[in-house]
Structure 1
Amino acid sequence: GDFVTSSQQDQSTNKELYTKSGFLKQAHGVAVWALSSRPGASVQYHIDYAELLRYEYNVTVPPLWAGTIQCSALGNNTQIAHDTESENSTMKMVGGEFCVNLRGLEHYAENGYKGMISGDPMGGWKSPDTATSGVHVDSCNKWVTIPYTCNRGIVHNGDLPHLSAPIQHIDDDQLSRVIVGFNVFGHDVGARVAKAPEHSRQFRRQVKLYRTTLSAPKDNKGGSN
């Protein structure tokens, strides 16, 4: 069945994450982006948020919901065996799992962005054996590890910290792991996000401007003439 994560530890993982009517009522829009990666690449521990608002107002606003779609013809060992039987051409990839912590912002407060508080850029995540078991749930540490599988979609509450494990190997030297990610923002910040969606040309231009402004040397008004 569908796997659903929640920031509420006592919430069943098969409980409906949202309804269509609730989604349409709460959502202002969806920011979409894509990422192509080769062996050695990873995405360290973080939460998604409206990055431009952080630069402008120094506030962190997570999306309502977030998720990814796994697009490349890659998979773990279990998926490889399944596709061999069905004569689909899926190549093997080692690593590159999507990992999410169900403790939410409480866990993020202990670790910080890319582990800047705890000193662990993976936020305490440890690699389980998912080669034969598929999705792995660590009930003790609240980590869920989801292997990469072509056409798999993952949706979770927007305030859950997550990461992408290092890609160790891809069978095909010409093939990259591709994901399409999305963030659903509410009406509180949606209009502002829409002016410069994450990773868009306008977004990169604005971020570059803010970074340049923040790093510019200040006038030494207290110096001697």
Structure 2
Amino acid sequence: ARRARGVLADEPRLQQTMACQVQSPPDADGLIPFDDGFKPSSCTKETRIVPPPCSALPRDVTVLRDALDEDLAHEAYATCVAFGESWGTYLRYLGEDEGGLVLEKAEAEQPALEQLAYSMLRSLWRRGGKELLAEDLKHVHGFSMWVVLGDVGHETEYHIDYSEPFRHSDNIIATPVHAITLQLTPVPEGFAIEGGTFGAHVEGLDHYRLHGYKACLREPVDGRPTDDWLSCPGWRSVPYAFNQATLIPGDLPHAADEVRVWPRSLRRVVVGINACGFREGPSEMRTPQHSRLFKRGLKLQRLEKKLLNLDPEKLKRLLASLLSKHKIDGSRLSTAEIHS
């Protein structure tokens, strides 16, 4: 069969897991305290999480084979490889028309890529996505889409998906309604890939609370994403395959282990798609993941971190050099003012 659905987890265990995930009562904003071991440098507020909506997807990994029209899958691979780097966009959900998604494309920063994202999402919807996801559209503001290229040595650290701009502004975790990947590399039939396996844990936020942001609360072993990677019953795994989609509820933590064997002549192309809710969607729309604006923000964050870690005297000399270069009088600045 073209579509292979995951098996729903044991129902009593599932109910227990979902009850555990909301351990603290929500605050006045409907948010729940949640510590994953990470605080962004841009916001020192206590971490809170938006309670995830109930999804129509099974709490498992659902796999769609032949997820896109085949010609489009090949075109998408070629376009992404030719572009040569990661990119991202956001498609605002407006409704449905004769069973198809009505989407508003982002402003034309990269028109060909915006059109490709639009075509891929509409194709995925026609070829099985609607059957699986339509019931949840009432929760969806829009779709964040991005592409990542990799090769041997590439891995994806353990994490849950959430809106990066939203967290960095208020330290609020807002997971998507759904988290989807598309695998687009036409790996030759019979080639034995090693590594790069996608895995998600069905215990969701319970598992993430234990392991934390990028597994910072429990150190991984032997180069694996977590210390229990694919070795306990809650893990579900899917090897990489051309024109294949994986779909999970947005609060399930996931990762991909290191790619060890891969065809030399091909890039490893993965598309990420998050169905964003109404709380975090506008932030994602303004700064889509892996977009040029998003990348500029990351560079500024790294620069800020370096500056904050500089010795005060070194920082003072650097600032004096910059002031001199731009012919600004900095004689009244003290080291204390520099750090204020």
Which bin holds the TM-score, normalised by the shorter protein? 0.7 to 0.9
Q: Superposition RMSD on alpha carbons, in Å?
A: 2.8
State how far apart, in whole Å, the 2-side matches of 1:157 and 1:93 are: 27
Contact 1:72 1:150 in 2 (8 A): yes
Rg larger for: 2
How many residues of Structure 1 are paired with residues of Structure 2 in the alignment?
194
Please list, as runs of the form range in 1=range in 2, the aligned pairs for 1:82-97 lying within 5 A after superposition.
Answer: 91-97=191-197
2:181 — aligned with what? Answer: 68
Q: Alpha carbons of 1:5 and 1:65: their partners in 2 closer, same or farther (altered >3 Å)?
A: farther
Please list, as runs of the form range in 1=range in 2, the aligned pairs for 1:20-35 lying within 5 A after superposition.
Answer: 20=134, 22-35=135-148
Contact 1:55 1:210 in 2 (8 A): no
2:273 — aligned with what? Answer: 182
> Please, which runs of 5 or more residues in structure 1 have no aligned partner?
81-90, 128-137
Contact 1:197 1:203 in 2 (8 A): yes
Equivalent position amino acid for 1:196 in 2: T
2:149 — aligned with what? Answer: 36
Indicate the structure whose relative CO is greater, using CA pairs within 8 Å and at least 6 residues apart.
1
Q: CA deviation at 1:215?
A: 5.0
* % identity of equivalent residues: 29
Deviation string, structure 1 residues 91-123 (Cα, Å, up to 9, x no partner): 431111101111111101111112110011612
1:165 — aligned with what? Answer: 257
Contact 1:35 1:180 in 2 (8 A): yes
Q: Alpha carbons of 1:153 and 1:211: their partners in 2 closer, same or farther (altered >3 Å)?
A: same
Q: Alpha carbons of 1:174 and 1:65: their partners in 2 closer, same or farther (altered >3 Å)?
A: same
2:215 — aligned with what? Answer: 115
Of 193, 197, 204, 2:295 maps to 204
Q: Give the secondary-structure state (helix, strand or coil) at the position aligned to 1:203.
A: helix
State how far apart, in whole Å, the 1-side matches of 2:149 and 2:337 are: 49
Equivalent position amino acid for 1:58 in 2: N
Q: Give the secondary-structure state (helix, strand or coil) at the position aligned to 1:36.
A: strand
Q: Which has the higher strand share?
A: 1
Q: Which has the higher helix share?
A: 2
Q: CA deviation at 1:6?
A: 7.0
> Please, which runs of 5 or more residues in structure 2 have no aligned partner?
16-54, 58-131, 313-333
Equivalent position amino acid for 2:4 in 1: D
Q: CA deviation at 1:2?
A: 2.5
Q: Alpha carbons of 1:211 and 1:6: their partners in 2 closer, same or farther (altered >3 Å)?
A: farther
2:227 — aligned with what? Answer: 124
Contact 2:56 2:136 in 1 (8 A): no
Contact 1:4 1:156 in 2 (8 A): no
Q: Alpha carbons of 1:40 and 1:215: their partners in 2 closer, same or farther (altered >3 Å)?
A: closer
TM-score w.r.t. the length of structure 2 is: 0.51
Q: Alpha carbons of 1:25 and 1:126: their partners in 2 closer, same or farther (altered >3 Å)?
A: closer
Contact 1:34 1:178 in 2 (8 A): yes
Q: Give the secondary-structure state (helix, strand or coil) at the position aligned to 2:247.
A: strand
